[in-house]
Amino acid sequence: MKKTHLFFVVFLFFTPFPKAQNVDNYELGVGLRFQKTEQLYWENGVGADFTSDFLLHKKIHLKLSYATSRIGSAFLSNAIRQDNYVIGADWRFRSTKDFQIFAGLNTGFFHADMETAQFNVLPHNSMLFSLETGLFYKFKFPLATSLSIGYNLINGDGLTVPGSLFPVFYQLSVFYYIGKK
């Protein structure tokens, strides 16, 4: 029985399958994200940005990011350690130009690590849902940067949502692009 399974796995691995879509022209950017919550913390981290011709000729960009105050305001201080796991999509205006304007929707997960047992009664987790708009500039070499402002539609009230989840945030991202242009 194990030989049959092994044969089947090897057969699938080496069998050429036709491509459903031709993804010859894509862009994948990976880089650093610096985020500042209005009147609160710096949260820094990493991000990725992906687009391709099959995403409405690169007008839609899919993104993924992780930002944390652990390498921001909470680094070597007693600030609350917060983690933001975000996925989103942007619509790029002027997508064929180096200078672009974008608007998008993000969703994800927020976690605040209070680190002390006395705060266990407070909420620590929340879903994220935010609107974001900003400017994007693609350099002639494989670097790009974006500057944006966002608004969290789920805000912290301290009773049902962590009190440190503030509505307004600013982001600066720097991406290194790999892939075919």
CB distance 164 to 112 below 8 Å: yes
Structure tokens at 15: 């069998």
Structure tokens at 133: 């708009």
CB distance 41 to 50 below 8 Å: no
Q: Convert the pLDDT of each residue in 56-86 to its tens digit.
A: 999 999 999 999 999 988 888 878 899 999 9
CB distance 45 to 66 below 8 Å: yes
- Which one is predicted more confidently, 101 or 1? 101
β-bridge pairing 60-68 and 168-178: unpaired
DSSP 81-126: EEEEEEEEEEEEETTTSSEEEEEEEEEEEEEEE--SGGGTTS--EE
pLDDT band at 144 (very low <50, low <70, confident <90, very high): very high
**Measured torsion, CA atoms of residues 159, 164, 166, 169, in degrees rounded to the nearest 10:** -160
Q: Convert the pLDDT of each residue in 109-141 to its tens digit.
A: 999 888 777 787 788 899 999 999 999 999 999
- Which one is predicted more confidently, 158 or 103? 103
Residue with tokens 């879509």: 21
For the entire predicted model, the pTM comes to: 0.81
- The domain 25-178: what is its CATH number? 2.40.160.20
**Could you give the percent of the chain with pLDDT greater than 70?**
86
Q: Look at residue 8 in the predicted model and tell me its pLDDT.
A: 53
User: What distance in Å separates the CA atoms of residue 108 and residue 35, rounded to the nearest whole number?
Assistant: 15
